[in-house]
Amino acid sequence: MNFSKQASKSRMGRKAPPGNRSSTEQQGQTMGRHRIPVIGLTGGIGSGKSQVAMMLKDLGCVVADADAMAKKALEMPEVIQQLQDRWGDHVLASQSGIDRTKVASIVFHDESERRWLESILHPIVHEQREALFASASADAVALVIDAPLLLEAGLDSDCDAILFIDTPEEIRQKRLQQHRGWEPTELARREAAQLPLDEKRSMAHHVLGNDGEVEDLARSVEAYLETLISDFSSRPDS
């Protein structure tokens, strides 16, 4: 489906989420910054956020992948030097650059170290994301922020809509064991460093279930995007 004509109109403020935030608190936070809506993806680890992001990209959205941008930032010489100065040579990869597995082990065991790393990476990722969005083509239908710590980092204030990907824990555990080799305790340990899932869900404007077939998810994503663009385009300021 081509959403370009619908998206070419004006912008919409945020709908009131199902949580405690009122529409007046949130409405218009991003109005005027972009000509098309900004969608923020959130959900549990292994819920399929990146899969949904790719589906949105296939439908004409511009996707800012925070993980990919952070990985790119970790390859920058000045960032490598800062990490080496703080943590020593053992975080260096055998060939070149940073061993991200060793860095992950450090930051997921020590909140202060995680916050320090975020203070280094977040400004770089923010700059990359803004550059990507600024260069979006005229036929882009929406902008998407795919960031693991979307809410924790306050990126929801940059979004017109927050989409929560809801996937049962047993499915997420199976995916993470198959694709990342995680033990069952690893998921709980990592999510303990994030906002509780119930809180993330309550802050979302829409919840998308991901416990069925890929085709079902694709249809749900397309229907969600079509509704979002229609709402965005029909606002009085359009």
Question: In the chain, what are the domain boundaries?
Answer: 4-8+24-233
Q: What superfamily would CATH give domain 4-8+24-233?
A: P-loop containing nucleotide triphosphate hydrolases (3.40.50.300)
The pLDDT, as a whole number, for residue 108 is 84
Element containing residue 70 per DSSP (H, E): helix 66-73
- Strand order across the 38-43 sheet: 61-65, 142-146, 38-43, 161-166, 206-209
Please, are residues 137 and 34 in contact by the beta-carbon 8 Å criterion?
Answer: no
Residue 50, φ and ψ in degrees, nearest 5: -70, -35
Strand-pairing partners, residue 165, are: 43, 208
> How far is the C-alpha of 110 from the C-alpha of 93, rounded, in Å?
21
Spans of the chain below 50 pLDDT: 4-32
Hey, what amino acid is at 93? A
> How far is the C-alpha of 100 from the C-alpha of 213, rounded, in Å?
32
Cα 129 from chain centre:
11
pTM over 0.85: no
The pLDDT, as a whole number, for residue 222 is 98
> How far is the C-alpha of 142 from the C-alpha of 39, rounded, in Å?
7
The pLDDT, as a whole number, for residue 3 is 55
Residue reference for tokens 């940059």: 158
The pLDDT, as a whole number, for residue 1 is 57
In the numeric block, which tokens belong to residue 207?
Answer: 């919840």
Q: Which of 201, 168, 142, 127 is nearest to 1 (CA)?
A: 142
The pLDDT, as a whole number, for residue 33 is 64
